[in-house]
Amino acid sequence: MTTRTTKKKPAPKKKAAGRKAAGPERQLAEYRRKRDFTRTAEPAGGGVRAARKLAFVIQKHAASHLHFDLRLELDGVMKSWAVPKGPSLDPAVKRLAMQVEDHPIEYNSFEGTIPKGEYGGGTVMLWDRGTYTFAGDDPRPEDALRRGYEKGDFKILLRGKRLRGSWVLVRTRRGDERRPQWLLIKHRDEFAQAESDIVAEELTSVATRRTMEQIATGKSRVWHSKGSG
C-alpha cells in the first residue's frame, strides 16, 4: 500500500501486440542466464503459448536445501516462489515464500534431475499440479489476479490434486527487487485442515507416483551432450 501510485499506466495497448512475444522473452532472461541448456534437461522456454486456463504447479526440489517451488501462470510465464517448508492446509500457519525468477510454462512438466554443479542441481518431483483462478468475484478474473499480484495481495483459488480452495500470497518485503518475500496462507474454507501435514503425508510424484529416491536413481532425464547416447 505504501508504494501505490495514482499515476495511470499509459499503455493499455501493449496487450494486443507486444505481450506474447516480448513479455515472456524479457521475463525469462534471468531464468535462462542461470542455466546451461546443453547440460540440463530443463526447458529453455518460449515454445508454448499461454493456455486459457491458468496453470499451477508445485515441484518438490531437493537442491542444496529441500524446498517446494510454487508456480502460478500469469502473463505467459510461471511466477515462482521457493517455499522452504512447503504449503500447509492450516489457516493459522504462514509459510515463507521467497519469490524467484519467472519460469517458462514448459517447466510445469519437468520432473527429473538437474546435474550437480548446475543451477538448482538436485532432484525435482512434480508434487502437485492443476489450474488456478482469482479467489473472489470479479468479471475479469485475470485482471483481478494481475492487480492482486502487483499489490502484493495475491488471492488464488487452487484446483490441484492435493491443494484446493482459497489461498493468499501476501508480500511482506520487496527485498532487493529480485527476492521479494511473501507469506503463503490457506484461507478458511472446506479444504482447510488444522491438524494435517500434507507435505509429510504426500511423498510421491503426482505425475509418476515415484518417490524422490526413485526419481533420483531411476531413469535419468539428465540430458547428456550429443552423441553420448
Q: Applying CB under 5 A, which residues contact Mn ion?
A: 61, 69
Of 58 and 192, nearer to Mn ion (C-beta) is: 58
For the bound state, the minimum distance from the C-beta of residue 100 to Mn ion, rounded and expressed in Å, comes to 7
Of 61 and 129, nearer to Mn ion (C-beta) is: 61
For the bound state, the minimum distance from the C-beta of residue 120 to Mn ion, rounded and expressed in Å, comes to 5
Of 100 and 145, nearer to Mn ion (C-beta) is: 100
Q: CA angle at residue 77 from 72 to 78, to 5 degrees?
A: 30
Taking residue 201's Cβ as centre, other Cβ atoms within 10 Å add up to 9
Of 57 and 145, nearer to Mn ion (C-beta) is: 57
Contacts of 95 (CB under 8 A, 6+ apart): 83, 84, 85, 86, 87, 88, 183, 184, 185
* DSSP classification of residue 139: S
Of 61 and 210, nearer to Mn ion (C-beta) is: 61
Measured from each CB, the residue nearest to Mn ion is 61
* DSSP classification of residue 194: T
For the bound state, the minimum distance from the C-beta of residue 200 to Mn ion, rounded and expressed in Å, comes to 19
Residue pair 58/129 in contact by the 8 Å Cβ criterion: yes
For the bound state, the minimum distance from the C-beta of residue 36 to Mn ion, rounded and expressed in Å, comes to 17
Of 119 and 191, nearer to Mn ion (C-beta) is: 119
Residue pair 215/121 in contact by the 8 Å Cβ criterion: no
For the bound state, the minimum distance from the C-beta of residue 79 to Mn ion, rounded and expressed in Å, comes to 14
- Side chain identity at 160, as an amino acid letter? G
Q: How far apart are CA 72 and CA 148, in angstroms?
A: 13
Residue pair 148/136 in contact by the 8 Å Cβ criterion: no
Q: How far apart are CA 90 and CA 28, in angstroms?
A: 33
For the bound state, the minimum distance from the C-beta of residue 68 to Mn ion, rounded and expressed in Å, comes to 8
Q: How far apart are CA 226 and CA 224, in angstroms?
A: 7
